[in-house]
Structure 1
Amino acid sequence: MTEGRIAVVTGASSGIGRAVASAFTRQGIHVLAAGRSGDRLAAVQAELAGRPGTVVPHSGDMTHAAYTEELLAAAEREWGPATIFVASAGQGLPGTVLGSDANRWEELIEANYLAILRQLRATASEFKKHAEADGGRQVRDIVVIGSTVGRQISAANPVYGSTKFAVHSLVEALRQEVCTHNIRVTLIEPGFVRSGFQEAAGYDMEWFEAVAEQSGPLLVPEDVASVIDFVVSRPTHVHLDDIRLRPTRQKV
């Protein structure tokens, strides 16, 4: 069902995106790996060399308006039109409404909402064009990484959470818009994942380790990637459109 398919994966230089690239190539999916760091993407390419699916890196900034179109075009030049797009790139921001750094709000909204909106529009437009050409015989998948804090309000992390609430609504609206073309738009809502995300975003790591002590073992990126791999491998008529996964001991 998946061998020979072509995927674009953003945020592929680390964390969940990197794990998705690894899972996909193991199944024979070719991956255009997108991220900011060319060196780290090259390391991913080297690490996954020799698998049934191949990796081609494409570094750049996902907040640039036409970057999604660049990625889709690059994948098509390499192998043919993509049929999977995984939106994994994003940013975190610690702090409450009163306590978060207001100087970072615009950057967060740009990365976590506007960039995702552009990715969804560009990818769905491209997928719909190809679906109309082939009558929807080929299933196409758009997978977006959300968060449990995009469903359950967190007073401790509301600014970041609000971007996920917004993205969740976009994903469901797009699903309704394109599902008749056999385009499956899927939301993945992970709980706590030990991936380096929190440290890069500036969260208090003592707090995070306390969370890990209380709620762990935490998820790891490979746990999330295995779910995504399962989602895109379903038969054309089966769509797992919204999946939450948490560490077993995480209460909220």
Structure 2
Amino acid sequence: MSQQRVAVVTGATSGIGRAITGRLVQEGMGVVAAGRRAGRLGELAEELAGQPGAVLPLAGEMTQPGHTEELLAAAEREWGAASVFVASAGRGLPGTVLGSDAAQWRELLEVNYLAVLHQLRACAAVFTKQAEADGGSQVRDIVVIGSTVGRQVSAANPVYGSTKFAVHSLVEALRQEVCALNIRVTLIEPGFVRSGFQEAAGYDTAWFEGVAAASGPLLVPEDVAEVVQFVLDRPKHVHLDDIRLRPTRQKA
């Protein structure tokens, strides 16, 4: 493991985060797989046993202060300093400005915005310290999973979309702040992805199947994971900083 990169992936219990973890482990990385459900993380570690890389499952809440630092410290104890951090944890919220459940707004903002802001700050601080020590000789990557609704306003899903708009601006601002140290901060903006995300957030199943019929075949988490791997594999002087991927038939 000493010659391979080390990564932290949040939201690894399901969907895109789980697929990214699997892809990186298959490529030989040591990955701290973070999420709220310890049982699901344990299952993932068992599933990936025998791959070229390795998984260290670590359950916790991304909204808790200091959790990002704990994940990075765990990676360093296990394999050495991480040079990849993927922020994939997040949740959805169906409904319009008038129709969404106002009782869930605060949690949505805490999970999708404030927790990500803390992750970016904590990870960038650690990576900056490391880069200053080695003169930026090693490339380091922070990858954030955004959404196409964080770029194109959706009247049908605006509260969730507004959190992604906010995160997208943070990603670009941080990119500008740390790029001189060869720290690449990348935004990935998927369109419709068929995963457990919609069901967990309470989106209407019939509506989603209508979307799939009109715009499908939809993306699957492995499509996003493949793009993340491609970004990480670019030479140190090349940065694909903002990538949108949609089902070919998705219009907006």
Per the alignment, residue 203 of structure 1 pairs with 203
Structure 2 residue identity aligned to 1:183? I
Q: How many residues align?
A: 251
Q: Quick check: 1:132 aligned with 2:132? A: yes
Distance 2:143 2:227 in 1: 11
1:142-195, Cα deviation, whole Å (9 max, x unpaired)? 000000000000000000000000000000000000000000000000000001
Structure 2 residue identity aligned to 1:74? A
Distance 1:10 1:18 in 2: 9
Per the alignment, residue 105 of structure 1 pairs with 105
Counterparts of residues 1-252 of structure 1 (less than 5 Å): 4-252=4-252
Distance 1:221 1:13 in 2: 12
Distance 2:27 2:199 in 1: 31
1:3·1:29 contact (CA, 8 Å) conserved in 2?
A: no
Report how far residue 65 of structure 1 moved. Answer: 1.3
1:3·1:28 contact (CA, 8 Å) conserved in 2?
A: no
1:33-66, Cα deviation, whole Å (9 max, x unpaired)? 0000111000000000111110010000001011
Distance 1:164 1:205 in 2: 22
Q: TM-score scaled to structure 1, two decimals?
A: 0.99
Cα RMSD of the aligned pairs, angstroms, is 0.9
Distance 1:17 1:233 in 2: 18
1:9·1:87 contact (CA, 8 Å) conserved in 2?
A: yes
Report how far residue 26 of structure 1 moved. Answer: 1.1
Over 4 Å off, 4+ runs: none
Q: TM-score scaled to structure 2, two decimals?
A: 0.99
Distance 2:15 2:215 in 1: 20
Structure 2 residue identity aligned to 1:206? A
In structure 2, stretches of 5+ residues that fail to align are none
Distance 2:177 2:66 in 1: 22
Distance 2:85 2:10 in 1: 8
